[in-house]
Copies of this chain bind each other. A is one copy, B any other.
Amino acid sequence: MRREDTGIMTSPEKSRVFIQEVAPRDGFQNEAGFIPTERKIALIDALGATGVAKIEVTSFTSSKAIPALADAESVMAGIRRHPGVAYAALVPNVRGCERALACGVDEINLVMSVSAGHSLANLRRLPADSLAEFERIVGMAAGEVGIAVSLSTAFGCPFDGPVAEREVVDVVERLVGLGIVSVTLCDTTGMANPAQVRSLCGRVRARWPGLQLTAHFHDTRGMGLANAVAALEAGIDRFDASLSGLGGCPYAPGASGNVCTEDLAHMLEAMGYRSGVDLGALLDASRVLAGMLDHPVSSHLLEAGPWHRRYPLPAFARTGSMAGLRRHAQ
């Protein structure tokens, strides 16, 4: 059989896509138990060697608010930086930005919600307050470090309900006005569907062709990978994902894990996209991560292996004669 006739490797002409790992921040901050600093560092170092484009290492937030990430400085100081990988950190405010800059992060990731309800519940401020804070941070950090903004509830809010595309577009407009060149559209609680993703991502993509756009999905309702394909089709080539499917949102009820990195990388590779990620190395790291935790993870790949996994035929099917063996037919 000619491999190209399987339809597996041919379709999207080996387009380049970028996978951005968020488990060390988005995953670990939701763990009940504190993951020891040296284990975090070992995992981030293993991730750096897998070929992911970016790693969100930690969050420079108050250790009272998120004790799980109280070791942000130690983690940043302990990791080995792999060339070609951007090491990012979440920054909630000016104080966090100062701490992140002191650690020499490659990029700071600012977070705001499009919807007022989620903004109040998750950040305890209104979206307009976030924008004002971002202006101060940009004034302080621009030119020194990359700045990205993650837009929570871009596809819907668990408190306020549907979010209109124009609300998202309006916020992106404000961010672009502040000089932001990298924006992540986040489906914080897994409310998005593929038709919606294609529509919103296509609209933002078309309006700001030069903007670096990332899609961030959760698999809460099983649509995580379907939404990733829809975003791809709308011209998005960057995806946040979380090793072993870790993560969620502690302030958004029902928000189960992020799209699983190995599931996403596997699908993209099978579709013929080129993420630069070594799936075997990623699965090794996922196995290590799963071993650190006291609960099951939601990685399909860890359980099933890649699509090309082969099994030996059962013994009865290897014999020459099939006579009398049809009783199992179904």
Chain A interface category by residue count: 35 or more
A165, chain B: closest CB distance, angstroms: 5
Stretch at the interface among A175-183, A259-267, A285-293: A259-267
- B314 and A29 contacting across the interface, CB-CB below 8 Å: no
- A330 to B252 CA separation, bound complex (whole angstroms): 13
Give A residues with C-beta under 8 Å from B. Answer: 1-3, 5-8, 10-12, 29, 59, 61-62, 64-66, 90, 92-93, 111, 117, 120-126, 129, 156, 158-159, 161-167, 190-196, 198-200, 219-226, 228-230, 251-254, 256, 260, 263, 266-267, 270-272, 300-301, 303-314, 316-318, 322, 325-330
List 16 additional contacts besides A221-B300, A222-B224; criterion CB under 8 Å. Answer: A5-B166, A6-B162, A6-B196, A10-B199, A59-B330, A61-B330, A93-B326, A117-B313, A120-B322, A124-B317, A124-B327, A125-B329, A190-B307, A195-B272, A225-B225, A254-B304
**Chain B residues with CB below 8 A from A313, complex form:** 117, 120-121, 159
On whether A221 and B267 interact (CB within 8 A), knowing A310-B158, A311-B254, the answer reads yes
With CB as the reference atom, state the residue of chain B lying closest to A325: B124
Measured CB to CB, the closest approach of chain B to A263, in angstroms, equals 4
Q: Are A317 and B222 in contact (CB under 8 A)?
A: no
Distance (Å) between the CB of A169 and the closest chain B CB?
Answer: 10
| Nearest B residue to A319, CB-CB | B120
B193 touches A270 (CB 8 A): yes
In the complex, which residues of chain B have a beta carbon less than 8 angstroms from the beta carbon of A124?
A: 316-317, 322, 325-329
Q: Which A-B residue pairs are the 9 nearest by beta carbons?
A: A7-B199, A11-B195, A120-B317, A193-B270, A222-B300, A195-B271, A226-B226, A222-B263, A92-B329
How close is A72's CB to chain B, nearest CB, in angstroms? 12
A12 to B327, CA, bound (A): 46
Q: A161: shortest Cβ distance to chain B, in Å?
A: 6
For A162, list chain B residues within 8 Å (CB).
1, 3, 6, 8, 308
